[in-house]
Amino acid sequence: MFWYSGLWPFSWRDFSPKDSWGLSKGGDILALLEGHGLSKRFGGVLALDHVDFTLNGGEIVGLIGPNGAGKTTLFNVIAGTFKPTSGRVIFEDTDITDNGANRTCRRGIARTFQVTRPFLEMTCLENVGVSVINSPRQREHSNWHGPAREALKHVGLHDHQETPGKSLNLIEKKRLEMARALATKPNVLLLDEVLGGLNSQEIQEAVELIQELGKRLGLTIFWIEHVMGAIMKAADRVIVLDQGANLMEGTPKEVVSDPRVIKAYLGE
């Protein structure tokens, strides 16, 4: 049994981990996104310390670690928001380290953020429409309604097209955040703590949605999460960071029972 994030204990009886190891639809392992020796320094603070990772096509990979481990910084480097101090990001065999956020999105990498910030006076459809209009991967920007409706349907908000952002509850805001990312037509989706603040039923529904999105849209998903039960159920593999560096990687079962991981979260 593993405790974390002040929610409740999860045991292996609660969730059955996935059996696959990130195989592509044709059955072959495909390295889609890689990080090699990624470091990021902010003044005297080393936020990332030679981090390596590989995402294979079509898999869900969990990214966990204590607060301050460097998880969101790694996402910012992958998405092109931050340029690494050293190291490279490789996507589909192309070096995208210096691309910046817009060109990275154009390549097919989208992300969500921990704190949702919808346009409060705009409807859900209009919120997603902003992503469509500004997406470098959408070809018909003037005809944004169709792609926006499609993205809302993917996350179960098709009945909230005309609902303003200010009227949404927390889980609806999180789903809207995901719809805005999906509207860019990504191949890789970076999810940053999308379950924070949700109750147990909402977490179950969100995990099922994430799994369904991965299958239906053929997405590769890299997922920062503190709700360990969700990672146990949905992830093919889990990468653990601690103090900005790789701690270990393995199946969910291997990771959650590893003494190094337990020590990183709970101390001696």
In a domain, 214, yes or no: yes
Beta bridge partners of 109: 188
What pLDDT digit, counting tens, does each position of 178-221 carry? 999 999 999 999 999 999 999 999 999 999 999 999 999 999 99
Q: Looking at 152, 179, 206, which one is the last position of a domain?
A: 179
Domain boundary among 161, 179, 197: 179
The Cα 88–Cα 91 span in angstroms is: 10
Instruction: List alpha helices for the chain, DSSP H.
Output: 71-78, 100-107, 124-134, 145-154, 170-182, 200-217, 228-234, 252-256, 259-266
* Amino acid identity at 115: V
Q: What value does the mean pLDDT of the chain take? A: 88
Q: Are 83 and 126 members of one domain?
A: no
Query: Residue 265 — very low, low, confident or very high, per pLDDT cuts 50/70/90?
Result: confident
84-137 tens-digit pLDDT = 999 999 999 999 999 999 999 989 999 999 999 999 999 999 999 999 988 766
Phi, psi of 247 (to 5 degrees): -100, -50
Residue 53 lies in a domain: yes
The domain that holds 224 is classified in CATH as 3.40.50.300
- 8 has pLDDT over 90: no
Q: Do 58 and 173 fall into the same domain?
A: no
User: What's the pLDDT at 266?
Assistant: 75
Q: How many domains does the chain have?
A: 2
Which residue range(s) make up the domain with 125? 118-179
Among residues 126, 159, 179, which one ends one of the domains? 179
Which three-class secondary structure state does DSSP give residue 175?
helix
Regarding whether 193 and 86 lie in a shared domain, the answer is: yes
pLDDT in tens, 237-254: 999 999 999 999 999 999
